[in-house]
Amino acid sequence: MLYERLAKPFFFRMDPEKAHHLVIDGMRRAASVPGGLTLLRGMYGVGRDEALATEVAGLSFPSPVGLAAGLDKNAEAVSGFSSIGFGFLEVGTVTPVGQPGNEQPRLFRLPPDGALVNRMGFNNKGAEDMAQRLAALKERPVPIGVNIGKNKTTPNEEAYLDYERCIRILYPYADFFIVNISSPNTPDLRRLQHGDELRTLLTAVTAELSRQAGEASPKPVFVKIAPDLSDADLEQTVDAISASGVSGLIATNTTLSRDGLAHANRSETGGLSGRPLTGRSTEIVRRAYAQTEGRLPIVGSGGIFTPEDAYAKIRAGASLVEIYTALIYKGPEINRQIHAGLSRLMHTDGFTHISQAVGADHR
C-alpha cells in the first residue's frame, strides 16, 4: 500500500515518460548503493516457493511471474528488478543500432481504464550497449530474456538481418530471446507475423541461434504476437511458429483496439496495454494452446492485475505470465499479492504444483 498511497500520487503528477526514467534510474542506483538490493528484497522480494518454481524450455524459473519487455529497454536496472519478486525479466526491445524512437509525447496514462497507450517506437541505445551492461552484471538470480526487433529504417525484406545481428551481439549474455514482430509502433512490423515473411524470419533466427550455440543446444527463443490477429490469421501464425522449431510464443503484445475506454487519451495513437487487454490476451493463450495441443510453451502477457488474472492465463495454457502496466498502477507490492494468490488458487483446485494448472481448462 506504500506505493499507492505515497509514490503513485507523486509519479502520476509527472509526465509519464519522465516518471518512467525516474523509476529506471532509481532501480539502477539501488544496485550501486551498499545494502540497496538487500533493502529492495526485504521490502518487495518474494520467498521461493517450490510449488511455484517451474521449468520451461529447459530454463529454471524461481516463479512463473515475470516482467514484460518495454520497461527496462536498455537493461539498466536488471539487478533492481531482479530483487522485487520477479521470476524472470525481459529487457528491450533492443535493435541492432540505437535509435531515438518516435517523437514525444509518446506515453499516456488512462487511469479510469487501468491502461497505458504508448507509441515509443523501439527507442533504445542499441545491442552493443546492452551487451556491455549485461556483461557487467555481478549476479543473475533470475533468467533474463532479450527482446529483439528491427530498426525503423530497415525494410521488411531485410528485417531478418537485424534479428540475426542482435542475436550475434547478445548471444553470450541472454538466457533466452524474444522475437518482437508485433509492436504496432514500428511501420509494417506486424506484417512479419504472416506467411512467407514470418517463415523467412524464423528460419533465419533459428539458424543464427544454432550457429552461435556451436556444439551446444541453442538458447530458447519465443515469438511475441499481437492480440489483434483475426481468428484465421492467428491460426496461420501459430502454425508457422509451431513448425519453425522455436521454443514458444508470447501472447500478447499491445492492442490497437479502443473498445469501451473512458479516458480522453483513448484517442492517442499507439499500443494499448493494461486491463482492457485482459480478456483478449487470455483468449489468444487459450486458442494457441488448443491449436498446438499444449506442445508449444506459452507466456501469457496482457492485463494481469490480480492473482485471478494470472491464474486464468495459466489455466488457459500459459506456462509463464508477465506484468508491466499493473506494476505502474499497483507498484512492486503486486508480486507478493500475485504469488500468494497463485498458491491459494492452485491449492484450492487440488494442484500441488503450478505446472499441473497449465492448460487445466482444456482437460
Looking at the annotation, which residues are catalytic?
183
User: Please, are residues 354 and 346 in contact by the beta-carbon 8 Å criterion?
Assistant: yes
DSSP codes, 328-339: HHH-TTHHHHHH
Instruction: Please give the Cα distance from 6 to 329 (Å, whole number).
Output: 12
Instruction: Please give the Cα distance from 290 to 177 (Å, whole number).
Output: 24
C-alpha cell of residue 204: 533465419
DSSP codes, 210-272: HHHHTTSPPPPEEEEE-TT--HHHHHHHHHHHHHHT-SEEEE---B---TT--SGGGGS-SEE
Report residue 317 CA to chain centroid gap. Answer: 17
User: Please, are residues 248 and 176 in contact by the beta-carbon 8 Å criterion?
Assistant: no
- CA dist 287 to 58, 123, 125, 356, Å? 24, 32, 36, 19
Instruction: Please give the Cα distance from 258 to 249 (Å, whole number).
Output: 24
Burial 223-259 (b: 16+ CB within 10 A, else e): bbbbbbbeeeebebbbebbbebebbbbbbbbbbeebe
- CA dist 242 to 133, 146, 150, 300, Å? 32, 20, 22, 17
Find the helix packing angle between 278-292 and 307-316, rounded to 10°.
20
